[in-house]
């Protein structure tokens, strides 16, 4: 229980704590995430990028997420940082390629942080409830179920990575920096992950069909927070009886 309150086990996993970001509706969180992501995409100079970085991390920690959560969420981006920086240095040379490579890598990481906060602080039922008046629920189910699989595939990637390293694949940080070994990343990580994704999608489709997905034009939503509010209001209305 203590581990649940101090951190989460996998990247982008919903964290059940009380924070101002958790209390926002799904629509507001999507609006904030979109605004931050657009801001990150348009900045080019160091000072605006620094401000965007500060805003993203402030938003992240305002949701009562920890440094351990942040490390789990962004550690996979270290590979793209190394690859992008190497490509820019190869194309533009040193030192001309340093800033474009660093800037692009940072922008990619920051672009995903608002979405990660959205996943960390929003339940699927709340997401679908907030948008059911605008988007058909079948599309919402497809979209948000895909989002909720992000922690699952992060865990799968970690397990595949460890298994392939035990089998002798060249996946150490020193090897990843060398383009000659990038084919090992594709054959040992990307292809098994794609196979697992296709299998998971098929299993999710069968599960949804078995539960009657699409049998009715409308569906209900189980909202834990709304249920807690109803129970709390009922407890307040119950008056103690004297003997």
pLDDT one-digit tens code per residue, 131-166 = 666 667 677 677 767 766 777 777 788 788 888 888
Q: Per residue in 156-170, is it b (16+ CB within 10 Å) or e — as a string? A: bbeebbeebeeeebb
State mean pLDDT over 80-101: 86
Look at residue 3 in the predicted model and tell me its pLDDT.
42
Which has more confidence, 130 or 186? 186
Whether 220 has a pLDDT exceeding 70, the answer reads no
pTM of the model: 0.62
Question: Among 42-51, 109-118, 125-134, 234-243, which is the least confidently predicted range?
Answer: 234-243
Whether 19 has a pLDDT exceeding 70, the answer reads yes
Contact 117, 65 (CB under 8 A): yes
Look at residue 56 in the predicted model and tell me its pLDDT.
92
Q: For 196, how many CA atoms within 13 A lie in the half-sphere containing its CB?
A: 17
Whether 103 has a pLDDT exceeding 80, the answer reads yes
Whether 8 has a pLDDT exceeding 60, the answer reads no
Contact 13, 151 (CB under 8 A): yes
Spatial distance between the Cα atoms of 115 and 59, rounded to a whole number of angstroms: 11
Look at residue 232 in the predicted model and tell me its pLDDT.
72
């Amino acid at each position: 229980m203590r581990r649940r309150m101090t951190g989460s086990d996998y990247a982008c996993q919903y964290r059940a704590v009380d924070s101002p970001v958790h209390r926002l509706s799904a629509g507001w969180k999507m609006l904030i995430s979109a605004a931050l992501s657009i801001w990150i995409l348009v900045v080019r100079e160091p000072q605006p990028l620094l401000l965007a970085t500060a805003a993203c991390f402030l938003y992240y920690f305002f949701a009562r997420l920890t440094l351990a959560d942040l490390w789990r969420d962004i550690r996979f981006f270290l590979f793209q940082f190394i690859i992008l920086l190497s490509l820019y240095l190869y194309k533009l040379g040193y030192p001309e390629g340093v800033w474009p490579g660093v800037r692009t890598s940072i922008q990619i990481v920051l672009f995903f942080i608002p979405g990660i906060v959205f996943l960390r602080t929003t339940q699927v039922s709340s997401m679908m409830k907030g948008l059911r008046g605008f988007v058909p629920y079948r599309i919402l189910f497809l979209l948000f179920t895909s989002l909720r699989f992000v922690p699952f595939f992060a865990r799968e990637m970690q397990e595949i990575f460890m298994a392939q390293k035990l089998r002798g694949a060249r996946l150490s940080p020193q090897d990843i920096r060398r383009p000659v070994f990038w084919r090992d990343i594709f054959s040992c990580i990307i292809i098994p992950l794609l196979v697992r994704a296709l299998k998971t999608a098929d299993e999710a489709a069968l599960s949804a069909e078995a539960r009657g997905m699409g049998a009715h034009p409308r569906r209900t939503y189980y909202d834990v927070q709304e249920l807690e509010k109803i129970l709390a209001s009922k407890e307040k209305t119950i008056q103690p009886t004297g003997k």
